[in-house]
Amino acid sequence: MAQKPSLTYSILTLRCPKCREGKLFSNPNFYNLKTISKMPEKCPVCSLEFNPEPGFYWGAMYVSYAISVGISLITFLIMYLIWGWLTWQFIITNAIILLALIPLTFRYARCIYLYIVLAFESNSKPTP
């Protein structure tokens, strides 16, 4: 069997956490808001369930929050280092950047959350 792609590459390309080949989202276009959350029920390659229980992705909100804080910190550092302390300019620029990146934050939060949950589940199972 061919070697699995790296963890970083699999997350960046939104692949299944188990086989790292099947795509997590049906439509590759992030900015098609009608299909932004559309995922196949199971991985087309390894049949891993992408939606194990109703409301599963509520937990992804925490990941989404962490990503947003990270983006805000980077925006702040860039603006602070270039222009110094600019409170209102930062708040407005950061809001625009965060709003524009909502589709990316949404999908990557779901993807990372699924990776985290799967990592914990596979660690808690007894080894054969």
Q: Based on CB atoms, which residue is closest to Zn ion, 18 or 110?
A: 18
Sign of the CA dihedral running 40, 123, 119, 54: positive
Q: Based on CB atoms, which residue is closest to Zn ion, 40 or 59?
A: 40
Residues that bind Zn ion (CB under 5 A): 16, 18-19, 22, 43, 45-46, 48
Packed helices 102-124 and 87-100: angle between N→C axes, nearest 10 degrees: 70
**Which region holds residue 39: left if phi is over 0, alpha if psi is between -120 and 50, else beta?**
beta
Residue 89 Cβ vs Zn ion, minimum distance, rounded to whole Å: 44
Q: Based on CB atoms, which residue is closest to Zn ion, 22 or 115?
A: 22
Phi, psi (degrees; rounded to nearest 5) at 107: -70, -40
Residue 107 Cβ vs Zn ion, minimum distance, rounded to whole Å: 17
Q: Based on CB atoms, which residue is closest to Zn ion, 46 or 104?
A: 46
Residue 42 Cβ vs Zn ion, minimum distance, rounded to whole Å: 8
Residue 13 Cβ vs Zn ion, minimum distance, rounded to whole Å: 13
d(CA 125, CA 5): 24
Return the closest-CA partner of residue 68 out of 27, 103, 119, 116: 103
- Find residue 29's DSSP bridge partners: none
